[in-house]
Structure formats: structure tokens, C-alpha cells
Amino acid sequence: MSRPSHHIPVIDLSAESDEVLAQRLDAACRDRGFFVVTGHGVRSELIADLEAVARAFFALDPEVKSEIAMDDGGKAWRGWFALGSELTAGRPDHKEGIYFGSELPADDPRPLHGPNLFPSHPAEMRDVVLEYIEAVAALGRRIVALLDRGLGLDGGLVSLVDDPTVLFRIFAYPPAVADGVEGWGVAEHSDYGLITLLLQDHIGGLQVASDDGWIDVEPIAGSFVCNIGDMLERATGGTYRSTPHRVRNASSQLRLSFPLFFDPGWSVRVTRLIASEGAGRRRWDREDPLLFEGTYGEYLMSRVRRVFPQLGEAYLDERL
């Protein structure tokens, strides 16, 4: 049972002053932990180009897509993975996808950092993806600054993203099958970092947990769905909560989604910037980010190993 998405605030970033926007974003994070932004300044032509290259890539045969297989991405953790290769809560997701991130040199010593893998077809994917990452990361920086203002933190939140960890995914969810045995595209989970900025196509399927049940987040053309992650919950002492969400494509069409994760710097230790309001809260996964001590990189790696265990064993264990 789910409710319609009018329970999710829609905020036009071009319509009001920063002071008012900061208050509205703060209220949305205290309430649902999810909100939708319009008037964000990311070019509509760029969004259209991104969807076009994604559809072209996922229409290719698996043998062709494997040209940029994640197994060849090394510790940078970039590239394509096949349907069912990613796990959520120990279960295979019903989706395939490509992992990208900030374009960095091959000798960057940090796991999950380095060069991206781009396909030879569509050839324009490289330029489109890199421009998109830059544009949406700039939007993420603005939203973090507005949240910092809304919380009255005088730059404390902004300092976490002086050198942010920026990871970007393109996911493709196959059409539903008649008997529904494929299960969830992505099972119930929360995100790990500060904020996620999600562009979704017209199909829908994203649901957000609430005290009243699951809420459908219906697509609004050209908008971004934003949600807070575990480290923002920690930084705010539980004032903001990392809200569980899930995805199922119940349609007869391919569903595309484009989440970009705008997160703390790799070596940053996320301290509580606000006195704790929620220590000891039992989450859906029986874990509490308020109790974590360490760098964001350590937190992220501990979670990533659960998503791709085989790659964790190959590339990340020595770093934990």
C-alpha cells in the first residue's frame, strides 16, 4: 500500500530568496528526508542528451556493453554491471547499470577514485556524463550550503564537502514480467553520504518510507528528487534522518534513473554538528550512523563491500 507523492515537498530553487529556500529545505529534511527541486539550473538539453546516450547504451548486446565491465575498473570501481550483479540487503537487484564518478588520474591512491570507463558507443557518452556530473555536483554544493544556512551551522556542513566524494550511477530497470517474480529493482535501503540528487525518467517506481506507509514519488519532468544520507543524519545528530526507500518497475517499459551522490570528502571525519537527538534509534537495518566513528571513506567502503562482495574481496579488503 502506498500513498501519492504530494506528501513530498516540491521546491523551486529559482522562485525565492536563499533565506526562504534554506527554511523550506530544512523543514523538508526534518519532515520526510525527501524533497523535489525544480528551477535548479541544470540545462534541459543536457538532461535530454544524458537519457539518449543511456538508452542507446542499454540497448546494446551484453557482449558489447562488457567492453566497459566493472571487473576491469579496478579499485576505481567504475564501469558496467549486468542484471542481478548488485546486491541490496543481501539480495540481487533487478537492474543493470554503470558506475561513474569524478574523473581522476589512475594513480589516485583512494579506493572508488580514478578514471572512468566509457564505451566506444555511444561515443558521446563521455562528454555528456562528465558535463552532467559537473553540473549536478554544483547543484549539490548549493543545496548543502542552503541546508547549512537553514541549520544555522555557519559553514560546518559546507566544510564537509571542500573536496567532496562525487559518485554517479546510471541504472536501467527492465520491464515488469507478468508473474512479478523479478522482485524489487532495489530493495529497502538508505544512502550512505550527505545528499543524493536523483533524475528519474517518466516511468516512476521510487517509493519512500514514512510513518503512514510507503509514498510513491511520481516523476516531474526535469526535476531532481533529493534525499539525505547516513552522514547527514550523523552530522545533524539525528535532526535529519536518512530515510529508507526502494524501487520497483511495475511498468511494461524500461525504466532509467540517474542518482548522483554528493558526499563528504574521503578522509573527512563527520562529527556531530548538532547535539544528538536520535542516538540509539533502531533503523530498518538495525544500525545507527550516530554511533559510527571514523572517516567517510571507511564508512563507505564498509557498505560498498556488501553491494559487490566479489569486488570488495579483490580490491578493498586491504584498505579496511
Confidence tier at 316 by pLDDT (50, 70, 90): low
Model confidence at 56: pLDDT above 60: yes
Q: Which residue has the higher pLDDT, 93 or 108?
A: 108
Model confidence at 224: pLDDT above 60: yes
Beta-carbon count within 10 A of 17 CB:
8
In angstroms, the CA 76 to CA 313 distance is 14
| pLDDT number for residue 320 | 41
pLDDT digits (tens, 9 = 90+) for 15-47: 999 999 999 999 999 998 999 999 999 999 999
Mean pLDDT of 232-257: 93
Model confidence at 1: pLDDT above 50: no
Q: Which of helix, strand or coil describes residue 224? A: strand
Model confidence at 319: pLDDT above 70: no
Q: What is the pTM of this model?
A: 0.93
Q: Which residue has the higher pLDDT, 54 or 320?
A: 54
Task: Give 291: exposed, middle or buried? Use CB within 10 Å, 0-12, 13-18, 19+.
Answer: exposed
Query: How far apart, in Å, are the Cα atoms of 240 and each of 28, 198, 231, 268?
Result: 9, 19, 10, 19
DSSP one-letter code for 101: E
| pLDDT number for residue 2 | 40
Model confidence at 180: pLDDT above 70: no
Beta-carbon count within 10 A of 38 CB:
15
Residues of the chain with pLDDT > 90: what percent? 74
Residue identified by cell 521546491 is: 11
Q: Are 181 and 270 in contact (CB under 8 A)?
A: no
| pLDDT number for residue 282 | 59
In angstroms, the CA 226 to CA 27 distance is 13
Q: Which of helix, strand or coil describes residue 186? A: strand
Residue 294's domain spans which residues?
A: 2-319
| pLDDT number for residue 182 | 55
Chain mean pLDDT for the chain: 90
In angstroms, the CA 26 to CA 22 distance is 6
Query: What total number of domains does the chain contain?
Result: 1
Report residue 79: phi and psi, to 5°. 120, -175
List 97's β-bridge partners, or say none. 81, 171
Supply the CATH number for residue 20's domain: 2.60.120.330
| pLDDT number for residue 6 | 53
